[in-house]
Structure 1
Amino acid sequence: MIYLIAGPSHTGKTLLAQKLLERHHIPYLSLDHLKMGLIRSGTIALSPTEDEALTAVLWPIAREMVRTALENRQSLIVEGCYIPYRWQQDFSPEERAEIRYLCLVMSRDYLLRHFTRVRQYANVVEHRLDDSDFTLDTALTDNAEALHQCRLHRLPYLLIENEYPREIDL
């Protein structure tokens, strides 16, 4: 089984992937790690904040890694904000039957009430060197857009509204 965990920055994608790894012993691919490897190696000349351009580079690589895992009947978790909302178009119905997708989205009210806490949990799994571009305004905009896109493309999402769920299973 393949698990795709998507969503805006700071919604808990990496933490969920880490918990799934620990619970089910399924390896995960962090698209942020892939992004930074490509940037730091000089393979791509993009900055870490060029999301659309990064998606255009990262998704084809991740997509083919998913295909390889499917062909080999291996389980894999792929997490990151670089999974396009149109991801289903890239797979056959048979392949899609082996893929579970979830987009984590924080509601406007949740962010307004808990933004300071969200920032405090930013380094639970990974340590961000520079998190200055993550503001309440960017969080509100990015989460509203993610919710809109999930509804538009009829994708499953978990809307975090009151308390952050302790357990999320796909």
Structure 2
Amino acid sequence: MIVLITGASHTGKTVLAQKLLEKYKYPYLSIDHLKMGLIRSGRTDLTPLSEDSDLTEYLWPVVREMIKTAIENRQNLIVEGCYIPFDWEKDFEKAYLADIRYYCLVMSERYIQTHFSEIKKYASIIEDRLDDEYCTLDRVLEENARVLELAQKNNANYILIDDEYKVTINL
């Protein structure tokens, strides 16, 4: 089984992937790690500050083919990151889709307004964020509103974090 976890920055994608790894023993791929490996190795002119759409366009074809390979080899894999396009299903034949579960994490405006200090506090719980200056209340609100709109527009499976942060996925 392939588990795709996406959503806006700071929604807990990596934490959820880590919890699933611990519970189910499925390995996970952080698309951010792939991104940084390609950037640091000089394999791309993109930077960590490049537009998300440019990064998605560059990274998704590689990730997509890794997913197909894992399915063909009957391997489990969790893939997490914000570079999974909302129309990801178009890239897979029906036989592949049967083995893929997709989850998009979205925080409500109310949750963000009420819990922003916690969002900042837990930002580096799994990976150290060297520069988290861009994580402002306005930006988190804007990104989550955009992701929610796109998830709804694309009929994507999303988990809305509204009252408290309780995200669980049973495989």
TM-score range, shorter-chain basis? over 0.9
Query: Matches of 2:71 and 2:136 in 1, distance apart?
Result: 38
Structure 1 match to 2:159: 158
Structure 2 match to 1:140: 141
Amino acid at match of 2:55: L
SS at structure 2 position matched to 1:123: coil
1:119 and 2:120 correspond? yes
1:99 and 2:122 correspond? no
Q: TM-score, normalised by structure 1?
A: 0.97
SS at structure 2 position matched to 1:36: helix
Per-residue Cα deviation, 1:89-126 (whole angstroms, up to 9, x for no partner): 00011111110000000000100111111010001100
Query: Matches of 2:170 and 2:8 in 1, distance apart?
Result: 18
Alpha-carbon offset, residue 165 of structure 1: 0.3
SS at structure 1 position matched to 2:105: strand
Would the alpha carbon gap of residues 70 and 9 (structure 1) be closer, same or farther in structure 2, given more than 3 Å must change?
Answer: same
Structure 1 match to 2:11: 11
SS at structure 1 position matched to 2:5: strand
Query: Matches of 2:167 and 2:84 in 1, distance apart?
Result: 24
Q: 2:105, 2:161 within 8 Å by CA — same for their partners in 1?
A: yes
Query: Matches of 2:159 and 2:11 in 1, distance apart?
Result: 10
Q: 2:109, 2:145 within 8 Å by CA — same for their partners in 1?
A: yes
Mean Cα deviation higher: 160-169 or 143-152: 160-169
Alpha-carbon offset, residue 166 of structure 1: 5.7
SS at structure 1 position matched to 2:83: coil
Query: Matches of 2:87 and 2:38 in 1, distance apart?
Result: 23
Alpha-carbon offset, residue 167 of structure 1: 3.5
Alpha-carbon offset, residue 70 of structure 1: 0.6
Unpaired segments of 5 or more residues in structure 1? Answer: none
Moved over 6 A (4+): none
Structure 2 match to 1:2: 2
Unpaired segments of 5 or more residues in structure 2? Answer: none
Query: Matches of 1:52 and 1:26 in 2, distance apart?
Result: 28
Structure 1 match to 2:37: 37
Aligned residues: percent identity? 56
Structure 2 match to 1:28: 28
1:86 and 2:87 correspond? yes
Alpha-carbon offset, residue 135 of structure 1: 1.0
The alignment yields a C-alpha RMSD, in angstroms, of 1.0
SS at structure 1 position matched to 2:35: helix
Alpha-carbon offset, residue 5 of structure 1: 0.2
Alpha-carbon offset, residue 169 of structure 1: 3.3
Q: 2:16, 2:167 within 8 Å by CA — same for their partners in 1?
A: no
